[in-house]
Amino acid sequence: MSPDVIKARPEADYTVHLWFDNGEEGILDMKPWLDKGIFRALRDLSVFNSVHTFLGTIRWNNNADLCPDTVYEDSVKI
């Protein structure tokens, strides 16, 4: 089981800065997702910038979200 996301902040170039409940931080690059289904809406920066934490993962106002394991495993730890 992956750690929960406790804070998420949108950054430039379609990345999200993440804070996890285990004390780690990471950067998740969302560019590879921008051509896939519901994630296409994230090309609009007003939608992308709506990222927030939700049940241990991240979600956007258009209800797009990612599996918590994907968020943790695909983020580059800093």
Pairing of strands 52-54, 25-29: unpaired
Number of H helices, E strands in the chain: 2, 6
Residue 68: which residues within 8 A CB-CB, separation 6 or more? 2, 4, 5, 56, 57
Residue-wise pLDDT tens digits, 33-66: 999 999 999 999 999 999 999 999 999 999 999 9
pTM, whole model, 2 decimals?
Answer: 0.96
Q: Which residue in 30, 35, 40 sits closest to 8, CA to CA?
A: 30
Residue-wise pLDDT tens digits, 63-77: 999 999 999 999 999
Domain ranges of the chain: 11-77
